[in-house]
Structure 1
Amino acid sequence: MKRLLRIVGIIICGILLLLVRGFEDNLFYDPLLEFFKGDYTRMPIPEMDVSSLLMGLAFRYFLNTLISLFILWLVFLDRGIIKLSVLLYVVLFALFMVVFTLLIYSLEGTDNLLVLFYVRRFLIQPLFLLILVPAFYFQKQKSA
């Protein structure tokens, strides 16, 4: 029964991650969403309120992180993994936000757009979850 509840919890959290993605246009200020959907190599970067963009990215990262941490808890039920994950999420957030901010303020023409795209991708998608689950799984298997 407990295993079934954990599986249902993981499915619900997966749906929540999909909802964050599905309602991104309504929930977050991000003019780069449409920009990167088009032929961004030929278009100028759109006008944007950088502080609102950074706040939107931070909010989205926070939502994805909370859901991801809950998934990690349901999968492993290990406080040590959660503590390490929180540390990694905080450090990676600080690192990627600094890089993203520097890229936004140093854009000239189409330089650095691909780097901006991938740094932003790490901030708005739960990619760390896709890295951490197998990493912690293999680490647990190795130590068992």
Structure 2
Amino acid sequence: MQEHIESLIQQHRDQAGGLMPLLHAIQDALGYVPAESVAPIAKGFNLSRAEVHGVISYYHYFRSTPPGRTVVQVCRAESCKACGSDDLMSEIEKWLGVKAHETRADGAVSLEPVYCLGLCAQSPAIQINERVFARVTTARFANPVGWCGG
């Protein structure tokens, strides 16, 4: 894994603004940005570890731990909140047995709040892995356990 990360650092280090593309490349390859990659990234980009960690922790897209086999994302942006995503998130937490920002102990599912899936006119929206669902209600989307490796 470290060799792969070093290779990606070499590919992006001379690119203007290369830190973000590097972090995306690492997460695309591994599913997350491992904590042990922060020091080599900082060294490769002549940044402090705090600067690299700050970027990783600032953007909700980046994970610092491996995700569950299924990732459920519930939109928490204004339009979705106005159309019921708070209640939806509460129900999904109960159905899946996991809280927002967590991965279930068996590794089957991670639940993540996200801030805009781009379906504001069709709120509320969720995404399960790469599949997006619009106008989701607790009644319409009754119990996603079967969809999410439950």
**Normalising by the residue count of structure 2, what TM-score does the alignment of the two structures yield?**
0.28
Of structures 1 and 2, the one scoring higher in RCO (CA 8 A, sep 6+) is 1
The alignment's TM-score, normalised by the length of structure 1, stands at 0.29
More strand by share: 2
